[in-house]
Chains A and B, each alone.
Chain A
Amino acid sequence: MYKYDAVDKTIVSDRVEQFRGQVSRHLSGELSATDLAPLRLRNGLYMQIHAHMLRVSIPYGLVSSEQMRALAQVSRQYDKGYGHFTTRQNIQFNWPELADVPDILQDLSNVEMHAIQTSGNCIRNISSDHYAGVATDEIVDPRPYCEIIRQWSTLHPEFYWLPRKFKIAVTGATEDRAAVKFHDIGLEVVLNNAKQVGFRVYVGGGLGRTPVIGKVIKEFLPREDILSYCEAILRVYNLHGRRDNKYKARIKILVNAMGIDDFRDEVDAEWSHFKDGELKLHDIDFETMQAFFPKPAYDDLEAGDDRIAKWRDLDNRFKAWYDNNTVEHIQPGYRIVNISLKEHGVAPGDVTDAQMDAIAVIAEQYSFAEIRVTHEQNLVLADIREQDLLEVWKALDAERLATPNIGSVNDMICCPGLDFCSLANASSISVAKQINEKFDDFEKLYDIGEVKLKMSGCMNACGHHHVGHIGILGVDKKGEEWYQLTVGGDATNNAALGTHLGKAIAKDKVSDAIGDILDVYKDMRTGDERLLDTFRRVGIDPFKEKVYAEDV
């Protein structure tokens, strides 16, 4: 993974001292809470209902065992012994004291981590494919491009006070696991006829209050131009994005107001001034960066392992885990292991300090000391030898990290909701528990197959409900928590926003409604259809009829 050089170290450590100064001026009364707010946000520090929340950046979701241990230590020393992995592949701590935060950031800088631009109206953490480098459908490894964009966008002086937050994602595979069409800028690797690497560029996608699927602004952007082209988009947005209404300030609103063609013309006109200037990248830049993400020192193995095959037959629990939580690897004899952070009764994405330490050890023993964070709030051990799967499973199971539910209804994405977040209208975690309790029969879950269930506690959509195969949105109706359901959303290549099912549902009826939706699916599915496929074939009406049948 990327290793800091002297420049990176200087920037991160200067930044820690700068923030230490800001906090100290605030605590001595020199800097008002109002003036501190945007500064602390740009260091990842929010003010929530009960306390501050610190969001630490995990660039494109890649974290080493050493870093994972440091995160565990932060949670132990400065927080309540747990952390929360987010849909932007970051981690949040819910209880730090303001005065401790400079020390936390200093501790993190010792393991090459920071919280720069994890919040605020600026360019946020670059997100990517959690199977980068090991996916069987990969065209080009996206991580070097992510790191190049991360460095360019870090503390960019001109784009630090944008109209609104700005998110960039990169995918290098044919199957989009990074939801690039739902980002302010989405970059999708394409090869041209000469096999040169470039990107199809999407702009103006996003979720939140006004969900929009990104539009293609450029069919093929040569890779050497990614920084200058992003800069042109950012400058047009910085100058023309709305600032009078925060709900209309994202770039998607500007792109829709101008129309994609006029927006493209404006960006091209801006780009023409500096396209071939200092921001142009050279082949050596990509090669240097790619060297930080080498192919691990894999053993020369045959695909398949007799002992593991035998254990799959012998042990139903192991088989369920193998079938659901592991994925085919590009290297023969290896598999990708997903660590489920959706254990029954635990808030999705939460991990304890002890679990983080255990994951660090397992990764060191079996997976080249690297872990990835997924945008579905799970973790990934990317390089596990098939012959080690039984031991890895046992080690994960001992830490309650082997719930065999990846991709199922139980593997839901969920924002912190009303339990922590000052924006939320409704709780998410308790509804997640309700759903977990209703669907606790794993055999039935496996029969239902892949269902992306995504839940947000308010229309800001941190839980990405618009793109859930089933989406749940918490709303406030006269002080009561109600839930709106959608069906048919999709964050991947055939991007779609979910269709509204009907009027909002009472809190205690949410899991029943989901049960109804799944019953309709089971009745109507043909062949290997997933819920999403059945919905696309039959439409919303059969689901609606069943869920609201009692009302008639």
Chain B
Amino acid sequence: MQTIDITLTINEQTHTLAVKPNDTLLEVVRDYLDLTGSKEGCGQGVCGSCTVLLDGHPVRACLTLALEADGSAVTTVEGLADGDILSPLQQSFIDHGAVQCGFCTPGMLISATALLKEQPHPDRKAVRKALSGNICRCTGYAKIVDAVEHAARPASGCPDCHTKDTGEDHD
């Protein structure tokens, strides 16, 4: 079968890969590069767990051909943290308990990162709209919306924004 060479800059690392025409960006990221943070849920653009940033915009990796992404910059969930230092958004997800099973979390983080880049202080409505393409079956969304809304601006009435890790053993 025909293979075509493409160049992708993934999380600021440039890769040259020989891909098949019917490889999706998600398959390339997961199967060729072992970046398994992006998940395949429905595989048909409904659930949002495969969301990645393509040239800064959120797109479904399962509905983007790898060939169409040739020459683009891709950010996956692995690219959000700086080494061991989590992004403020990722930390906020932990502080607010916005993760349960965690399957939707990579997509949620990517969609929310795209929102915060355009609107650093979004209101609740904007957060809900930006995350409307991501499905979560565990949390009921409230904690996720809290985490995104409070990521850049901790809210005074929110107990989760003021959780300080004291380093003490809690058990």
- Do A and B originate from a single complex? no
Residues in chain A within 8 A of chain B (CB atoms): none
Residues in chain B within 8 A of chain A (CB atoms): none
